[in-house]
A and B are shown apart, each in its own frame.
Chain A
Amino acid sequence: EAGVAQSPRYKIIEKRQSVAFWCNPISGHATLYWYQQILGQGPKLLIQFQNNGVVDDSQLPKDRFSAERLKGVDSTLKIQPAKLEDSAVYLCASSLGGAYNEQFFGPGTRLTVL
């Protein structure tokens, strides 16, 4: 079974530039999550999708971050404009959905904002 795929793996941009990350979840997984993991910290949930609908985006900085999940499969996370404090690893995870489901994580995209 293929795992969660993310691209790119690494990205370096200057502040005020824009950047986008892509995630392809495990086939058949209804729930998709985006997390931000700052160095030395635990992952912080940014947004959770159930199929193609948002169920929780309470911690997403909506003035600069946006995310979409077209057709309930792939998802993109965008930052525009980026700030220095956005430097982090952005992790995508997916789960079958329903109660207590295990989240499967991708390898992450390491973003460096200069």
Chain B
Amino acid sequence: GENVEQHPSTLSVQEGDSAVIKCTYSDSASNYFPWYKQELGKGPQLIIDIRSNVGEKKDQRIAVTLNKTAKHFSLHITETQPEDSAVYFCAAARTGGFKTIFGAGTRLFVKA
């Protein structure tokens, strides 16, 4: 079946450094790629998303890139802060949210 691979599973960085999380998807019909942040005991919360007709999107310290040919997309967090510590999930979906598939998650630790 279709899947989304996410790497690394754990990432530890020093406060102020950058963090990069990478995902690969297999469903060629996917055209919407959201990223979620999940804190302990809470549901995932959308932090940024990108559509297949865009190669890059930035929102303050967070940016996402998409290479549709290679079926790769990445999350970049700059100037990391301790409050960025959480589990991050990438996902791939078709129009209307159909066939939404999540990656396995990356646990990010930001050390003060």
**Closest residue of chain A to B6, judged by CB?**
A42
**Closest residue of chain B to A100, judged by CB?**
B32
**Closest residue of chain A to B33, judged by CB?**
A100
Count of A-B contacts judged by CB separation below 8 Å: 66
**Closest residue of chain A to B100, judged by CB?**
A45
Cα–Cα, bound, A93→B36 (Å): 13
Contacts of A91 in B (CB 8 A): 43-44
Choose, from B13-21, B68-76, B91-99, the stretch at the interface.
Answer: B91-99
Cα–Cα, bound, A91→B41 (Å): 11
Q: Mark A6-29, 1 if CB is under 8 A from B, else 0.
A: 000000000000000000000000
Contacts of A106 in B (CB 8 A): 43
Pairwise interchain contact B95-A42, C-beta atoms closer than 8 A: no
Q: B residues engaging A (CB < 8 A)?
A: 4, 6, 31-32, 34, 36, 41-46, 49, 51, 89, 91, 95-105
